Structure 1
Amino acid sequence: MSKEKLSFKQFWELSEIYTAPLNLFIILLGVSAAKFIQQLSLSKDLLIFIGIILCFHLSVNIFNHWMDYQHASDLHFKEKTNIIGREHLSISVVKRYFYTFMILAALFGLYLVSQTTIIIGILGMLGFYIGLFYSYGKYPINSLFLAETITSIASGFFIMFIAFYLAIPHREVVNTRIILSLFFISLPLVLSMFNNLLANNTCDLEEDINNGRKTLVYYIGKKHAVTLLLTLTIASYLWIGILVYLKLAPIVTLGLLILLPITLKELKKYTQYQDKKETFPVVLKTMSVMMVLYPIIYALGGFF
């Protein structure tokens, strides 16, 4: 029998609320970049944006679980893996939670656009589109070979750029050079997010094939996917050195380079065996180190 109310544990897994704080570190990087390469001017707009991101993050996670359940052709995935089938959740309840958070995000978003510029509206609409169509439609983004690229850029760069834009006093100074600089600064986060998605799809390859998804791993194979993950991990750390050389990052961020050999040692377990329960958490842990420490150390260097 379907349950009409979600327990905290069910909401925790359905919304993946535990991943939401990572968005705050992306925003922190944008604010810190504003301080380091421009001029900082905090306002209530930034707080509204944080509310939008958190609500949208929860709504998209709920939506993805709902769509995965609805369109799954693999019975084992639908009944034993997906939270909705495994916990016998009521679809009407799942919808209610999704619409509540999505409407809140949209209302806050409209208000923010009214207080800022159409640039925020355009990026917001792109973000909403990517979030919703990640798992919805005839050809959802999560079934395409560009899934990792599109999602990591939307999360790692778009969010950081908007945070930067809302944190500077003279928004008309944002030009092509600034946008390119911000993309460079965001790359360690973008690559780490890409790796998380790549590792997830590598572990789920057989399951994804059964459900009609053809992600990047489907085309390049597990062996090359693992090689790509290691290459991008090394690149994400070495890129910090380039940022410091270009004066786009505080020199203190170079301290992160000491973590590279530790990270590669940890990832050895994953390279030997790609499993969702046993070794995928290793990737999440190592990528989270970059996604958390990079913004924090950048902020320390930028503010102090």
Structure 2
Amino acid sequence: MKKVSVIKKANALVQTKSVVTSFMPCLLGILFAANYYHSFNVVNSLLIMISVVAFHLAVNAHNQYKDYERYRGKDSHNNILKNFDIKPLQARSTILGLALLSMIIGLFLVDRTGLPVLWVGLVSFAVGYFYSGGPYPISKTPFGELFSGLTMGYNITFLATYVNMYQLIDVSGLWYKTFIVAIPAIFTISNIMLANNIADRKEDPALGRKTIVYYWGKQGGIRLWEVSFVIAYVGILAAVVLGYLPVLTLLVILTIPIVWRNTRRFSAHPKKETTFLYAIINAQLILAVTVIGGGLALIL
């Protein structure tokens, strides 16, 4: 086997290219807190971003490790440890280190801001583990998209919002208000997982994975994938109408032609090696332009 550099091994294990999908909900939550609650704490914002990114990388590495255990001896592009010659001990050490970093920062934020960070953090850690761990991993069920979307899209947005406005007296409705703001993150992030499952629809059943695509079929999965992007845009519009996000976040409407083109390209030929990237591009584009537009509104 050709020798693989440490950097390539680390990148393959933790999937650094996906970090934006956890970073953006953080920025969305910060934007919500600054616009609607007129509150921003730079220290807490930096801490929550580091904690969230570390946790995301730990979950990615854990997913790769569990895939290695399940697919050992099988030919699968999911077997990253085997494909990149990563030792199991290296993977476990990376997972533990990143998880501890996220946990320590999280507990520090609990002390600074309050118990909601602890409860949401515990739920997120549980989903992060059981997504690929335990006797019945979530990733092998039809609920992978739901859990990934809510955990990364909603939980992260909520945490980033809360640590910036925890000191306010009136926090009524924070849970449902944050949910509306988080709709674009929830649906674009879940769509990344859905696109992955659509692309893997032929390989997954043989590996014991019965995702939503297994039950709905290729066309059903693609229709859901397309509708989810529509819901993401509707969510942004609703947040602006309700005053949760500034009007300039509607600059995201300019991304519709690009997102639609990418959506059609994937729908026509859903393949992991070629068109799956469009799911990531769409998610990052929608969330990035939303945050940039909102950021401009705050500056101007």
Which of the five TM-score ranges fits, normalised by the shorter chain? over 0.9
The residue number in structure 1 matching 2:292 is 296
The residue number in structure 2 matching 1:57 is 56
Alpha-carbon deviation of 1:235? 2.2
Residues 1-304 of structure 1 mapped to structure 2, 5 A cutoff = 7-72=6-71, 75-77=74-76, 81-168=78-165, 170-175=167-172, 177-304=173-300
| CA RMSD in angstroms, aligned pairs only | 2.1
CA distance 1:303–1:168, shift in 2 (3 Å) = farther
Question: Is the 2:181–2:235 contact (alpha carbons within 8 Å) kept by the matching residues of 1?
Answer: no
**Structure 1: stretches of 5+ with no match in the other structure:** none
Deviation string for 1:79-122 (max 9, x for gaps)? x5422011222111111111111122222222222222111101
Task: Give 1:24's aligned amino acid.
Answer: F
Deviation string for 1:13-56 (max 9, x for gaps)? 11112222442321111111111111213153332222211221
CA distance in 2, matches of 1:185, 1:143: 29
CA distance 1:216–1:259, shift in 2 (3 Å) = same
- SS of the residue corresponding to residue 75 of structure 2 reads helix
Question: Is the 1:36–1:303 contact (alpha carbons within 8 Å) kept by the matching residues of 2?
Answer: no
CA distance 1:38–1:91, shift in 2 (3 Å) = same
CA distance in 1, matches of 2:244, 2:47: 27
TM-score between both structures, scaled by the size of structure 1: 0.92
TM-score between both structures, scaled by the size of structure 2: 0.93
CA distance in 1, matches of 2:294, 2:222: 29
Range moving further from structure 2, 14-23 or 202-211? 14-23
- SS of the residue corresponding to residue 209 of structure 2 reads coil
Question: Is the 1:28–1:299 contact (alpha carbons within 8 Å) kept by the matching residues of 2?
Answer: no
Give 4+ residue runs of structure 1 displaced > 6 Å after superposition.
none
Number of residue pairs aligned between Structure 1 and Structure 2: 300
Question: Identity across aligned pairs (percent)?
Answer: 25
Task: Give 2:208's aligned amino acid.
Answer: G
CA distance in 1, matches of 2:264, 2:45: 40
CA distance in 1, matches of 2:294, 2:78: 38
CA distance 1:41–1:247, shift in 2 (3 Å) = closer
Range moving further from structure 2, 62-71 or 236-245? 236-245
Alpha-carbon deviation of 1:169? 5.4
- SS of the residue corresponding to residue 200 of structure 1 reads helix
CA distance 1:296–1:74, shift in 2 (3 Å) = farther
CA distance 1:169–1:56, shift in 2 (3 Å) = closer
Deviation string for 1:241-260 (max 9, x for gaps)? 22222222211122221321
CA distance 1:262–1:103, shift in 2 (3 Å) = closer
